[in-house]
Amino acid sequence: MSDHVESDAHAENTQSCHVHIVPVKVLVGVFLALVVLTVITVEAAKYDTGALDVIVSMAIATVKASLVVFIFMHLWYDKPLNKLAFFFSIVFAAFFLCMILLDSHAYDNYVKGFTEDKTPEFLVKEPEAAAPAAAPAAATDAKPAADTKAAPAEKPADEKKPAASEKPETDKKTTPETIDKTDSK
């Protein structure tokens, strides 16, 4: 961008502020590009490309986001420090996402098992046949308090309970510890 207008030509020392000013043409151009990309992403979503779907739509979104960040938000012309700050936020967010994604599949089965054991009535899915039985419970709007009454009996030490009781691999190792604890109660 050769268009480097300094706002404020005449100035006493303190009354000047040098910034980059983006020309109107560029602004409107970016907007039009963004609209075109929106149309493309909507159209692209109509074709079933399987797993590629997410990738394509995220790629387009990222292109759009970069346009906004670099032009509308002036990051392209901004100080390196501000660039760095924004860059780091993305890196940290990405790292966070990767780790929890990586991990969530590992224990998914335990959670599923738990869900199947303890699902409250209102969530139980009602196929036509089961409907009469389950429906009254749903309709009477069972109060959350009702099924939590029993809960306070289990102390917060139960935090890791689902894990401890549903984790086959480490069972052998945790047993002595678990015994220890129940003993000391």
Partner 1 sequence: MATVVDSSNPKSDFPIQYRELNYLNCTKGWKSWFFTLDHKRIGIMYLIGVTVAFFLGGLFAVLLRTELLSPEKMFLSADGYNQMFTLHGAIMTFLVIIPGVPAAIGNIILPVMLGAKDVAFPRMNLGSFYLWMAGAAFFLAALALGGLDTGWTFYTPYSVTTGTAVRTALLGVFILGFSSIFTGLNFIVTIHTMRPPGMTWFKMPLFLWALYATALIQVLATPVLGITGLLLIVEKTFEIGIFDPRLGGDPVLFQHFFWFYSHPAVYVMILPAMGVISEVIAVHSRKHIFGYRFIAYSSIAIAVFGFLVWGHHMFVSGQSKVVAVVFSAITFSVSIPSAIKVFNWLTTMYKGSIRFTTAMCYALAFLFIFSIGGLTGLFLATLATDIHLHDTYFVVAHFHYVMMGSSLVGLFAAVHHWWPKMTGKMFNEFWGRIACLGVFLGFNLTFFPQFLLGTRGMPRRYYTYLPEFQNLHVMSTCGAYLLGLSSALMAATLIYSVYRGKLAPANPWGGASLEWQCSSPPPHNNFDHPPLAGDPYVMESVVYNEEIGGYVPVECQGANKGSVTASGDNEA
Partner 2 sequence: MNTAATTTTDEHADSHDHEHHDPRLAHHFDSHQQQFDTGKLGIWIFLVTEVLFFSGLFGFYAVYRSLHPEVFLYASQFLDTTLGAANTVVLLFSSLTMAWGVRCAQLGQSRGLLVCLVTTLACAAIFLGVKSFEYTEKAHHHLLPGRAYQSPEHHDAAAHATAADGETAAAAKEAEAAEASVHGDHGDESLFEKTKHTLSYMTTVLWGVIVLSGIAFGLLFKNPNKKTLATIAGCVLVSAIGMQLGAFSSIGYHQLGHAEKPTDEEIELAETVPAEYAKQKEKIPEPMLARTFFSVYFCMTGVHAIHIIGGMIAISWLIVRTVHGAFTTYYFGAVDFVGLYWHLVDLIWIYLFPLLYLIN
Give the pair of three-digit tokens for residue 27: 């602004």
By CB under 8 A, tell whether 45 contacts partner 2: yes
Give the footprint of partner 2 on residues 121-180 (CB under 8 A): 122-123, 125-126, 128, 131-132, 135-136, 138-139, 141, 144
Nearer to partner 1, 43 or 159 (CB): 159
Residue 47's binding partner, choosing from partner 1, partner 2, none, with beta-carbon cut-off 5 to 8 A by kind? partner 2
57 in Cβ contact with 41 (< 8 Å): yes
By CB under 8 A, tell whether 173 contacts partner 1: yes
1 in Cβ contact with 26 (< 8 Å): yes
17 in Cβ contact with 7 (< 8 Å): yes
By CB under 8 A, tell whether 104 contacts partner 2: yes
Rounded to a whole number of angstroms, the minimum distance from the CB of residue 177 to partner 2 is 29
By CB under 8 A, tell whether 72 contacts partner 2: yes
Give the pair of three-digit tokens for residue 159: 């935090």
Rounded to a whole number of angstroms, the minimum distance from the CB of residue 58 to partner 1 is 21
Distance CA(3)–CA(67), nearest Å, equals 18
By CB under 8 A, tell whether 151 contacts partner 1: yes
Distance CA(95)–CA(92), nearest Å, equals 5
Rounded to a whole number of angstroms, the minimum distance from the CB of residue 44 to partner 1 is 30
